[in-house]
Amino acid sequence: MQTVIIGTAGHVDHGKSALAKALTGVDPDRLPEEKNREMTIDLGFVFFPINDQDEAAIIDVPGHERFIKTMIAGANSVRMVLFVVAADEGVMPQTTEHLDVLKLLDIEKGIIVITKTDKVDEEYVALVEEDVKELVRGSFLESSPVFHVSSVTGRGINELKSAITTYCTEIEPLSSYGIFRCPIDRIFSMKGFGAVVAGTVVSGKQQKTDPVEVLPLEKRARIRNLQVHNKTVSEVFAGQRAAFNLADIDLSDMYRGYELSIPDYLKPTEAIDADLSLLSTAPRVLSNNQRIRLHKGTSEVMARVITLNKKRIQPGEHGFVRFKLERPVVAERKERFIIRSYSPMRVIGGGRFLEPYAAQTGRRSKSTRVAYLQQIENTHDRDLVEVVILHAGRPIIDERELMKLTNLPLDTVAADTKKLLKEGKILKLRDNTLVHEKTLAALKEQCLAGVERYVSKNPLKVVMGKSELAKALRVSRATLLDRILGDLNKEGKIELKAEGVKKVGTAPKLSADAQKLSDAIEKYVIEFGFKPFRFVDITDAFPNVTKTRIKNVFDYLYKQDFFAEITNGTYLHKQVLEQAKKKVLEHLKAKQTIRAIEYKEVLGVSRNTARDILDYFFDHGLTVREKGTHRLAK
């Protein structure tokens, strides 16, 4: 069964509720306060039969300026509007404001209804009609039919019913393809049943047997009962007014503006990037960091507007902005929204969301961000998967995450991913995460540049630690870093060492000052002769030089084989070590063997030092040990 959602719109006391009652026989004002004050305060719902199979749900919205947020909540799901203007008052402030809302929400069709024609003469009705046509010129209502009616006398009601029926049959039913979403606009409790929420299903379909998630609460609930137009059903579809009797949820936790969706699809967000159009009738420019009221779905949330491509947005202009929300909401790409000024509360603009998860898509300059948003705005759904993977700034965990980021059904995402993998446009890492080939190529270039920068800042070091490199690249996933380094190693551009990464062709280089210190250190340690020295000996010898500077030069000399480590923490200059080697070879040539007690006399050092140097030669294959003596190795 198709349900077309029809909304009323117009100034307060222009006869919207009376018109809904005249069309359906049911009064949409259900609250005692509404009946006492003879003014609609909350949303009202009545049903209008189109034919034996289909019907329309008429949402009656309040017209008073104090309830404009309620009107926006009701108009969010409307596909056709009855634009109401009273013949005895004509165009009024909320007439204009409601029209702005309808245009910003991109309503498809409408019928202009001039009510209360029983209160004025025909000439006056004609003048009102002329004013209304002038108001709607250039809008979706410009070519809409105009009906003169009286809910009191019944004038024009039957003709209007016929027109509504014709219009409803011409509206193409919403496709149930897509992810189930239902913004909540009514919350109440029924004795014996518990929590009941109602709203218009804006996309997808939902079966009674499947769980739902209440957002942004992120709580799962079970559907006890499911109704459409007071009839129990097993499944609801896009475009239908539905009531959900929920279990496992506390009614006190629920608010208008929350919504139902499938579990683990939408995630709450507090930063959304969007394309915003400011109405030409807006009273002033929209400035950066201005506080506004953001309306999306059936919710209203306070937010700050951060302008991205211009300092301020003039009335009649559009620009890319980021909304920083004061409480979390859930949203989809290309979902429509409306903004009102903080004070006085007035509709000033609207547009479409482009990136619901703005805070999770990496740091970018404003210009880069704007280029991305322009691409998203102009990207067809068939290309969205690739664009989102490319601009994610990190590997995508799996296809379910892609479903959330693209707002496309899982089967569409899976098919697009498979195609992109086959074409080589995206790559699957060792842990099955997905990354775009352009992202990988860019990170490889950044990796090489990062190592070069590191060497230029640390000329005595040519090996950059992996953790340091990962931090510089903002790569938190080990599999991605391994892929980057593995590719560069295969391409012969880097060498992988135990301590980190070295770019091929780079070598340590001493500055003039460092060279002077290096020469001084070498001269000092050579004077130690055959007695090994320690690092602390050098720092003690150069008290006016920082330990860090000495350490950098010392590490350079050690890595360039100027020093040899004899034991753990003791060293000899290679020039001295070569002399020690020459002396041991001369002794072995003459006597075939050598003991530490003999070698100590040769070098003029302690027995322990002589033993350590002989052990060094043994460890490096120059000699072999036999019962405390050393012989020349074959």
Answer yes or no: is pLDDT of 158 > 90.
yes
pLDDT in tens, 272-321: 999 999 999 898 999 999 999 999 988 889 999 999 999 999 999 999 99
Residue 306 lies in a domain: yes
Q: In which band, very low, low, confident or very high, does the pLDDT at 27 lie, cut at 50, 70 and 90?
A: low
Last residue of some domain: 221, 238, 261?
261
pLDDT in tens, 103-119: 888 888 899 999 999 99
Residue 371 lies in a domain: no
Do 335 and 229 share a structural domain? no
Answer yes or no: is pLDDT of 266 > 80.
yes
Answer yes or no: is pLDDT of 210 > 70.
yes
Last residue of some domain: 261, 285, 311?
261
Answer yes or no: is pLDDT of 62 > 50.
yes
Please state the domain count of the chain: 5
Do 286 and 256 share a structural domain? no
Q: How many CB atoms lie within 10 A of CB 436?
A: 21
**CA distance from start to end of the chain:** 96
Mean pLDDT of 313-331: 94
Chain position carrying tokens 């047997």: 209
Residue 550 lies in a domain: yes
Do 160 and 25 share a structural domain? yes
Percent of the chain at pLDDT above 90?
A: 51
Last residue of some domain: 211, 235, 261?
261
224-229 contact pairs (CB < 8 A, 24+): 224/193, 224/194, 225/193, 228/1, 228/3, 229/3, 229/47, 229/55, 229/57
Question: Which CATH number covers residue 251?
Answer: 2.40.30.10
* Confidence (pLDDT) at 43: 57
Mean pLDDT of 528-536: 93
Q: In which band, very low, low, confident or very high, does the pLDDT at 362 lie, cut at 50, 70 and 90?
A: low
Question: Which CATH number covers residue 539?
Answer: 1.10.10.10
* Confidence (pLDDT) at 226: 93
Structural domain for 130, as ranges = 3-170
Do 447 and 383 share a structural domain? yes
Do 15 and 135 share a structural domain? yes
Mean pLDDT of the chain: 87
Do 522 and 505 share a structural domain? no
Q: In which band, very low, low, confident or very high, does the pLDDT at 34 lie, cut at 50, 70 and 90?
A: very low
Task: Give the integer Cα–Cα distance in Å for 183 and 123.
Answer: 44
Q: In which band, very low, low, confident or very high, does the pLDDT at 360 lie, cut at 50, 70 and 90?
A: low
Do 137 and 22 share a structural domain? yes
Residue 370 lies in a domain: no
Lowest mean pLDDT among 50-64, 131-145, 177-191: 50-64
* Confidence (pLDDT) at 9: 85
* Confidence (pLDDT) at 546: 92
* Confidence (pLDDT) at 343: 83
Task: Give the integer Cα–Cα distance in Å for 287 and 368.
Answer: 21
Helix (H/G/I), strand (E/B), else coil: 264? coil
* Confidence (pLDDT) at 213: 95
Residue 341 lies in a domain: yes
Do 291 and 439 share a structural domain? no
Find all residues with CB under 8 Å of 141, minimum gap 6, and list them. 81, 83, 99, 102, 110, 112
* Confidence (pLDDT) at 37: 37
Question: Which CATH number covers residue 166?
Answer: 3.40.50.300
pLDDT in tens, 333-342: 888 999 999 8
Do 120 and 18 share a structural domain? yes
